[in-house]
Amino acid sequence: MLDANVAEAGAVEEEAEDEVSSTYLTLELGGQRLGLDVRHVREVLDAQAITPLPNAPGDVLGVVDVRGTSVPILDIRARLGMVAEMSGTEGRIVVLELGRAEEPYPIGIQADRVHKVEQIAADTIEPVPRRGLGGWDARALKGLCRTDKDLVVLIDVDALMGEAAAEIDLSDGFGLF
């Protein structure tokens, strides 16, 4: 059901890019509520075993099998400077699609819980505070938004994943499944 909502919301988002709101998938990670633009979300999977990869970069947890394709799972907790924790019983894997439109590639991330797909109006997004925080690197954050009683941190997926994600290439004889 959630996959259908994500796909439908993504289609609506592409048709109305000039609108004053965007569609986000909200999820929980380490007690923090995060929002990811649905244009990057391909699907949400139930938690499953992650196969570790020898000599992989520190923020690569391993790979999972998604219909015969090995999808690398990145530790976004590490990329966001969060404390490492185990996902609970509501854990999910969110498969993102990154790269150029003519050559997309999947990258998965773990979430403790996936909440819902939400429209967030551009005028409700607050800038990330930068004063008084020293050399804090907030490039991966789009802004903050208050929904219901929660503060949602909106993530800039492109900035978070960066070029390092593009370098993870399992397609050249390295597939495990």
**Given this model, what pLDDT does residue 4 score?**
54
* Count of Cβ atoms closer than 10 Å to residue 104 Cβ: 12
Q: How many residues would you count in the chain?
A: 177
**Given this model, what pLDDT does residue 22 score?**
92
Q: Does the domain formed by 2-166 have CATH 2.40.40.20?
A: no
Cβ neighbors of 80 (< 8 A, separation 6 or more) are 29, 140, 155, 160
**Given this model, what pLDDT does residue 177 score?**
36
Q: What is the pLDDT of residues 145-164, one digit of tens each?
A: 998 788 999 999 988 887 55
CA neighbor of 40 nearest in space, from 58, 14, 19: 14
* Positions in the chain whose pLDDT score sits under 50: 12-13, 15-18, 170-177
The answer to whether residues 77 and 102 touch, using CB atoms and an 8 Å cutoff, is no
**Given this model, what pLDDT does residue 128 score?**
86
Pairing of strands 113-121, 21-29: antiparallel
**Given this model, what pLDDT does residue 9 score?**
52
Rounded Cα–Cα distance for residues 73 and 75 (Å): 7
Task: Tell me the pTM.
Answer: 0.77
**Given this model, what pLDDT does residue 173 score?**
40
CA neighbor of 66 nearest in space, from 98, 95, 105: 95
Cβ neighbors of 61 (< 8 A, separation 6 or more) are 50, 52, 73, 74, 75, 110
**Given this model, what pLDDT does residue 172 score?**
46
Q: What is the pLDDT of residues 29-38, one digit of tens each?
A: 988 999 999 9
Rounded Cα–Cα distance for residues 121 and 17 (Å): 12
Beta strands in the chain (DSSP E): 21-29, 32-37, 41-46, 60-66, 69-74, 92-98, 105-111, 113-121, 125-126, 141-147, 150-155
**Given this model, what pLDDT does residue 156 score?**
92
